[in-house]
Structure 1
Amino acid sequence: MSEEFDAPSNPAEAAILASGLRVEQREMPQLVRRVARKLPADAEVIRAELVAIRRKFWSRAAMEMANRAGQSWVRKSDAEAAAKRLDDPEATPRALRLALDEAVAERLRNTADTADATLEIVSGEQTEEGRPLSGERQAALAQAVAEAHGLSTAAAAEFVLRAERAAERRRQDLRSAEKAARDKRREEVTRLRAWEKSLVGIEGIPALLYCSNREALRWVSAGLIPVARKIRGPKGGRELWQFDPVEVAALRPEVQGWRAAEQMAERGADRGPERHPRERPAARSEERERPDRERRDRPVNLTRAAALAGRGSKESNQAVARAAALDRYAAHFATARAMIRRITIVTGPTNSGKSHMALDRLASSKSGMALAPLRLLAHEFREALASRGVEASLATGEERIPVHGSHHLAATVEMCPFHNPVDVALIDEAQLLHDRDRGAAWTAAIMGVPAREVFVLGAPECIPMVKRIAELCGDEVEEISLERKSPLHAAKGPVRFGELRAGDAIVAFSRRDVMDLREELVKRGRKVAVVYGALSPEVRRAEAARFRNGEADLIVATDAIGMGLNLPIRRVIFSALQKFDGEERRELNSQEVKQIGGRAGRFGHHEGGVVAVLAGKGDPSFIETMLTMPARAPDELRPQVQPDSEIVAAVAAEIGTDSLFGVLARIQRAVLRKDDPNYRLADLTQCMAIASAIDGVSGLSLLDRWTYALCPVDERDNGITRLAQWAVEHGAGRPVRPPLAGRLPPPDRASGEELQRAEKIHKRLVAWRWMALRFAAAYPDFTEAEEETDRLDSWIEDVLRQQRRTKAANRAA
């Protein structure tokens, strides 16, 4: 019976009370609304509506059951499917449990054709998501898989035992590697602390070099004595300089030379401007009366003294720094330094023809390369060269397309070949020199690309740092500044949803916001394409093509649209004027507004472009201010540098360690001083986190581990944990299998959860393929990984297309 309610206030409520069904107080308002749409309604109709309401509760309850049972492989979609199987409003927990088991069994049965393949895929998903199964849980999953595939009792028992043993072996290997990594890290931290503890202040130098305090001060100032570390004193006091006593003591043989050089410099100073003859004898007499020690303490031209001593400040850096030579980074690129290079900096706003000009020159050369920030743009460069009659090979982190006989290459910046001289090179988006995560790759590319002509393209703010790099390399520089081909201006007011027109691009700053905007636009009957970072280049290009050919009249995108994807956009409309940059939520800067907004008004498609903001999402005057703001000089002009395999090996040999964490910690602490006038060390945080996770993996060399540390993984998706698990398999001599998605639902029935899962698996496949190109024997199933990647690309694109059709069909119905 229903709970006690007041007298019914409307026919729907009266019908519910008359049905005799038990309805909870909190359910009544929603049930009344649903029944009101079905009047006249009998008890069966009301019963069906009550079941529909309770299915949300059952779905949550089913997930709680799975969690309590430790069944981490149960998905939200399984719980929803279980709830849909129930049609009794008074369904018991036992009935829900049975429905959940049936739903999970159906999914497991449809995941793959065999029990072995299903177990591999599902347990792999658990590992990929950072939830590797214990032996007991693996056995439970294996039992569920065996039952789903209808294995006999004996076959199921053998299958479960085999799975449990394999899981236990992997778990022990991983635990052993984690323990070894912790021990190594502890040892290296102890070593580093011992080294830091051994450091002395400037007051300790005289006892080490048998010199006076004033001599020590002069020689430190001249850079003759290397500073091991500079730290801020207590409570923000003055900066304290510390020195490695071993390194300082090793300089004793140099002391006499320094003193002799000072005396020569001093005598040169004494022979300065001619004095009156009567003054000279007195001055000479006074000088002769000074003791030798005081003469040595007299200020002199120490730079000249250092030169006379034949020992410059860079050459006197501590042993580890000398081995790494990051303070002489430009010299690291021997092939480029052996060439006479000319750097042409081509700057201008979006849609000014920078790439077109440089590609024309590249296509006319006998050999060359085009370096892009994204795999998508590398493909576009390759196609642009092909349209000019030049076939080029392709090289990205996870893909190689060699063209026999070709002397041209399109590649991502990180894949720059430093030992293959060419006539012309193009390096795009040079403002990324300032990027915290990837700036060092641009430094290396600009410094090291072995080309006689180097075209560096970017926004105007890249000019000072590119010039600094050219100066460090001794290269000639030319500047070319281009103007935008079509005008760009800010809209006078905000744009409402109802005012969006064909050719508009709406920009958001997260996948969730993109999908929410798309959902809202679809409800309003609009045809929408989407572009965001989690989509592969292939899907992005397919979505862009749909917008370009009119299949979609609007495109909703993240700021990923700001690079590449030349689209016929009429207006760029920001849905937010703030973004989270990985550290904080902040306002967009001028360069971001210009870079993204500049995609509007593509030359040849529109007479001009308009940049606006959605109504209620910000002040339109902010857009105008950012578009008209001149380029701001960067706060930091020293290019970022990072070690490579040669540097890692050299430092490891110098400090006598096989620990990658120890090498990177020493590089971070001691190799490049924070006040180095020319370079600054790139952020090594993720490399060190990976090193810390895999340092204990046996079977991998130091440089193998360094390669792992460079793999592009997403920490938010348990990327480092997953990489460590791959490393354990690799080190143990077992093949590392690629992530697989199993059977996918029909695109028109795919949920948002399933779409996001497919995107994540695709991203994991990118990392797997990156590793496979470097360790082919350990990652042997490259063809399977490529096929799975292509399958996911096609499915994701079909889902994005089918979901639109389905919603449109629902509206029509």
Structure 2
Amino acid sequence: MTSESPARHAVDAAIAETGLAIETRELPKLERTVARALAPGQDRVDAATFRAALCAVRRKPWGSRLMDLTRRAGEVWVTRADTEAAAATIDDPEPDDASLLRALGEVVRARLRATAPTPEAALETIRADLFDGTGRVLSPAETETLSRAVAAAFGLDAATGFVEAVRRTADARQEEQDAIEQAARARRREEVRRLREWEDSLVAFSEVPRLLHCSQKEALRWIAENRLPVARRVPQPNGTERWEFDPRELVALRARLPEWRGGLPGVATPLVPDPGTRKVGNAVIARVAALDRYAAHFKTARALKRRITLVTGPTNSGKSHTALEALARAESGMALAPLRLLAHEFREALTARGVPTSLATGEERIDVPGSRHLAATVEMCPLHNPVDVAMIDEAQMLSDPDRGAAWTAAIMGAPARHLFVLGAPDCIPMVRRIAELCGDPLDEVHLERKGPLVTASEPVRLQDLKPHDALIAFSRREVLDLRAALLARGRRVAVVYGALSPEVRRAEAQRFNDGEADILIATDAIGMGLNLTIRRVIFTALRKFDGTQTRDLNAQEVKQIGGRAGRYGKHEQGVVAVLAGAGSASFIRAMMAAPPAELADLRPQVQPDADIIQAVAAEIGSESLFGVLARIRRAVLRPDDPNYRLANMEQAFAIATALEGVSGLSLAQRWVYAMCPVDDRDNGIQRLIHWAADHAAGRPVVPPGPGRLPPPDRAERIELERAEKRHKRLVAWRWLSLRFPDAYPAREDAEDATARLNDWIEDVLRQQSSRSRAGGEEPRPGQPPHAPGRGHRKGGGRNGNRGGKGPPRHSVSGR
């Protein structure tokens, strides 16, 4: 604004009239605000209009001032949205701190009342949201301050004793937490001491003939025949191994020498440890766990005369249809899926064929009276009830570092006379290996895609998207950034990503299929499950973070996701493309044409189950889950085992480590907690330990609530993320409630909270998509916001930045 502008004249005149002090830095924004209030030809505004304009200019600094005041007061639960809402109510351009805090108090009290129906639930929800968002655990003093705010919000006076009760509980919980951590450290030290003491007692091979009263040649032969246990194999720099032996085990085996010397060569005799010693060697632990003979664990399956049919083919080749038809004709059967969502689809498909089917997933059960068929997630595979036909989908998951062991157990252990294993061609070598280990005959069927799939010759610009297009991103943030950009362009959008529940994902897919949304934006969560009428799959990035590093997409990922294009019977052909600015179309063509990748390791992954845990614990004389898992990690499946490899058990080990200080839980109960699907990126393990402490103390574990849910059409991204995290807490709580119903009794409340969150999240996504969103800077045409794939070199690249090491990724909602 120039000094001669009407707005400048109006501001100068209003300052003189009102006597209000204006800072120089406020003048430019104030003049612009006043200019919008001036009618054509006017150069003055009344005092009320000027005061309102000045308040509008000062609201952001007021919000910052309130944030500063609340943080100094220890009110860490006050959010930026609270302070902005309070600032918006101020109509005095020169308020003091007391006036600002009064306005904030009204806003915060209203929010706290809306958070939950009771003060206790409101307090717990606020604490949980803080913990999820920042990992912050309120101190007893901060908890007391929050309790006073909650009491004021709900109109509780001192006579109710609410604040005092919260204070006592917070002090007791803090003492309990300190005791848990102290006990955990002491028990871990004791288990490590026991392990090191045993390792120090080991002797070299040169001592074996003396202790066993045999020749060196005999000792070597018995080791080769797997009669003599090597307690520990220590790799040497020259590539050899140093063998170490437990002298107690050797002495105990002297009585077997006459039998070995007269026995048949190559016939191993089961090793019987000395029951009088608790210094049990790694070799004995390995024999007890028997993971090197994993197929034999599944006695029901081994007792059946099983036949395996491996059905492979690309996406949209009809693999599931082939197996479901056979399953529907059978008198009994089960369908095992990688996701809870897909288990529901299998159940519906069988029900539509006139086959009553029950459901079993990690967090829910539907028992249909008289049903002899079951749809379940892979981890829920029943191992003791024989059926005529079973199907296991997505067998390429055998190679998944986090869930691969579940597919190994299901394929080896499914008690079905005829087992259909479905998957991409990449899984063929490993399924062959499993069939060989099980001694089951294997038939192979390969299906071709039902409709043509082509790659686009040129990248697709953002403004050239058409109905039935699907954009593929590789993080929630990128999905929501693209969604905002397309909403700003007036497009109707549906989204699918891993943090959404199966119910919301299915609702979003239905909106897209029904034409209520033009464009689908999704992560690679659409690679499994969800029947989608996609015409074009368009990658917005050609690199992804896989939990360990940022790398190029591999051929199987491009084929699995790209194959979703061109649903048979809906589109004449499918098209796979890349978004302009995100990479080269030639990369997509190369990946789609690539042959199945050769697996670096064909050994299936295995992990212990509850029976193995109990057996090892009995053998080493310990009820410590930490100690048991530490011994299994050291003793079971040496790296050069020819048949199997031990699965990644880092998260189970982390939970076991944290549980050491919680007394009052059995070993079996601790193992259940260690298997609970939580995400430590959201502080899931710490929350799990709090629940376990309540369980052990005999206190009922209260389910998380839905929290405050603002009107869907006004929900911000942070509120959507907060609701998704609350839903994730409920998934873990419901998973545990099925296994510990007495400790987790309020299942109906949890179901209601889950339904409310699902409905609200879907309302947010649907209502905000149904209208064009204005505002915000649009990306340059063809350039998605934050696209990690831009600048991708033709044919891929090897210079991507490595990401930090992340925790194991669990498909929580699907298990």
> How far off is 1:215 after superposition?
4.5
Q: Quick one: distance in 1 between partners of 2:293 and 2:730?
A: 37
Structure 1 residue aligned with 2:265: 305
Structure 2 residue aligned with 1:586: 551
- Which of structures 1 and 2 has the larger relative contact order (alpha carbons within 8 angstroms, sep 6+)? 2
Q: 1:461 aligns with which of 416, 423, 426?
A: 426
Q: Quick one: distance in 2 between partners of 1:23 and 1:477?
A: 84
Question: What is the CA deviation profile of residues 464-513 of structure 1, one whole-angstrom value per residue up to 9, with x for unaligned ones?
Answer: 11111111111010000000001111110111011100010001111111
C-alpha change, 1:13 and 1:558, in structure 2 (3 Å) is: farther
Counterparts of 1:710-749 in structure 2 under 5 Å? Answer: 710-749=675-714
Decide whether the 8 Å contact of 1:109 with 1:148 is kept in 2.
Answer: yes
Decide whether the 8 Å contact of 1:306 with 1:312 is kept in 2.
Answer: no
Decide whether the 8 Å contact of 1:226 with 1:313 is kept in 2.
Answer: no
Q: 2:209 aligns with which of 206, 230, 240?
A: 206
Question: What is the CA deviation profile of residues 561-599 of structure 1, one whole-angstrom value per residue up to 9, with x for unaligned ones?
Answer: 111111110000011111111111111110000000100
Q: Which amino acid aligns with 1:240?
A: R
Q: 1:245 aligns with which of 229, 247, 258?
A: 247
Q: Which amino acid aligns with 1:252?
A: R
Q: Quick one: distance in 2 between partners of 1:163 and 1:543?
A: 41
**What number of residue pairs does the alignment pair up?**
759
Q: Quick one: distance in 1 between partners of 2:233 and 2:56?
A: 67
2:458 equivalent to 1:493:
yes
Decide whether the 8 Å contact of 2:333 with 2:372 is kept in 1.
Answer: yes
C-alpha change, 1:86 and 1:527, in structure 2 (3 Å) is: same
2:31 equivalent to 1:71:
no
Q: CA RMSD in A?
A: 2.6
Mean Cα displacement is larger for which, 524-533 or 46-55?
Answer: 46-55
Q: Quick one: distance in 2 between partners of 1:310 and 1:728?
A: 45
2:106 equivalent to 1:146:
no
Q: Name the SS of the counterpart of 1:318 in structure 2.
A: helix
C-alpha change, 1:61 and 1:607, in structure 2 (3 Å) is: same
Q: Which amino acid aligns with 2:292?
A: D
Q: Quick one: distance in 1 between partners of 2:656 and 2:354?
A: 45
Q: Which amino acid aligns with 1:241?
A: W
Structure 2 residue aligned with 1:133: 138
Mean Cα displacement is larger for which, 658-667 or 220-229?
Answer: 220-229
Structure 2 residue aligned with 1:272: none
Q: Quick one: distance in 2 between partners of 1:86 and 1:397?
A: 50
> How far off is 1:178 after superposition?
2.1
2:253 equivalent to 1:233:
no
Q: Name the SS of the counterpart of 2:567 in structure 1.
A: coil
Q: 1:358 aligns with which of 323, 339, 346?
A: 323
Q: 1:757 aligns with which of 713, 722, 727?
A: 722
Q: Percent identity?
A: 62
2:189 equivalent to 1:186:
yes
C-alpha change, 1:647 and 1:310, in structure 2 (3 Å) is: closer
C-alpha change, 1:152 and 1:601, in structure 2 (3 Å) is: same
Structure 2 residue aligned with 1:167: 170
C-alpha change, 1:25 and 1:573, in structure 2 (3 Å) is: farther
C-alpha change, 1:19 and 1:202, in structure 2 (3 Å) is: farther
C-alpha change, 1:29 and 1:259, in structure 2 (3 Å) is: farther
C-alpha change, 1:107 and 1:305, in structure 2 (3 Å) is: same
Q: Quick one: distance in 2 between partners of 1:608 and 1:14?
A: 66
2:618 equivalent to 1:657:
no
2:480 equivalent to 1:480:
no
2:801 equivalent to 1:799:
no
Counterparts of 1:664-813 in structure 2 under 5 Å? Answer: 664-805=629-770, 807-808=772-773
Q: Name the SS of the counterpart of 2:266 in structure 1.
A: helix
Question: What is the CA deviation profile of residues 649-706 of structure 1, one whole-angstrom value per residue up to 9, with x for unaligned ones?
Answer: 0000000001000001100111222211111111111001111111221221010010
Q: Quick one: distance in 1 between partners of 2:585 and 2:106?
A: 55
Q: 2:407 aligns with which of 421, 439, 442?
A: 442
Bigger Rg, which one: 1
C-alpha change, 1:376 and 1:241, in structure 2 (3 Å) is: same
Q: Which amino acid aligns with 1:149?
A: F
> How far off is 1:456 after superposition?
0.3
Question: What is the CA deviation profile of residues 338-358 of structure 1, one whole-angstrom value per residue up to 9, with x for unaligned ones?
Answer: 000000000000000000110
2:369 equivalent to 1:404:
yes
Structure 2 residue aligned with 1:300: none
Runs of 4+ in structure 1 off by over 6 angstroms are: 311-314
Mean Cα displacement is larger for which, 610-619 or 102-111?
Answer: 102-111
Decide whether the 8 Å contact of 1:209 with 1:248 is kept in 2.
Answer: yes
Structure 2 residue aligned with 1:112: 116
Structure 1 residue aligned with 2:541: 576
Q: Quick one: distance in 2 between partners of 1:638 and 1:332?
A: 17
Q: Quick one: distance in 1 between partners of 2:386 and 2:548?
A: 40
Q: Quick one: distance in 2 between partners of 1:42 and 1:13?
A: 9
Structure 2 residue aligned with 1:271: none
Mean Cα displacement is larger for which, 58-67 or 588-597?
Answer: 58-67
Q: Quick one: distance in 2 between partners of 1:49 and 1:208?
A: 94
Q: Quick one: distance in 1 between partners of 2:502 and 2:78?
A: 31
Mean Cα displacement is larger for which, 53-62 or 344-353?
Answer: 53-62
C-alpha change, 1:601 and 1:143, in structure 2 (3 Å) is: same
Q: Which amino acid aligns with 2:142?
A: R
Q: Quick one: distance in 2 between partners of 1:66 and 1:709?
A: 39
Q: Quick one: distance in 1 between partners of 2:471 and 2:57?
A: 35
Q: Quick one: distance in 2 between partners of 1:243 and 1:36?
A: 89
> How far off is 1:306 after superposition?
3.3
TM-score by length of 1: 0.88
Decide whether the 8 Å contact of 1:326 with 1:672 is kept in 2.
Answer: yes
Mean Cα displacement is larger for which, 719-728 or 97-106?
Answer: 97-106
> How far off is 1:395 after superposition?
0.5
Structure 2 residue aligned with 1:470: 435
Q: Quick one: distance in 2 between partners of 1:405 and 1:623?
A: 49
Q: Quick one: distance in 1 between partners of 2:684 and 2:87?
A: 33
Q: Quick one: distance in 1 between partners of 2:555 and 2:469?
A: 21
2:561 equivalent to 1:596:
yes
TM-score by length of 2: 0.88
C-alpha change, 1:451 and 1:752, in structure 2 (3 Å) is: same
Q: Quick one: distance in 2 between partners of 1:371 and 1:795?
A: 30
C-alpha change, 1:311 and 1:648, in structure 2 (3 Å) is: closer
> How far off is 1:127 after superposition?
5.7
C-alpha change, 1:259 and 1:62, in structure 2 (3 Å) is: same
> How far off is 1:611 after superposition?
0.6
Decide whether the 8 Å contact of 2:282 with 2:634 is kept in 1.
Answer: no
Q: Which amino acid aligns with 2:200?
A: K
C-alpha change, 1:131 and 1:810, in structure 2 (3 Å) is: closer
Q: 2:499 aligns with which of 534, 537, 554?
A: 534
Q: Name the SS of the counterpart of 1:618 in structure 2.
A: coil
> How far off is 1:88 after superposition?
4.2
> How far off is 1:258 after superposition?
4.7
Decide whether the 8 Å contact of 1:229 with 1:673 is kept in 2.
Answer: no
Structure 2 residue aligned with 1:547: 512
**Gaps in structure 2 of 5+ consecutive residues:** 274-280, 777-815
Question: What is the CA deviation profile of residues 300-355 of structure 1, one whole-angstrom value per residue up to 9, with x for unaligned ones?
Answer: xxxx7333x757999x9822112111111111111111000000000000000000
Structure with greater proportional helix content: 1
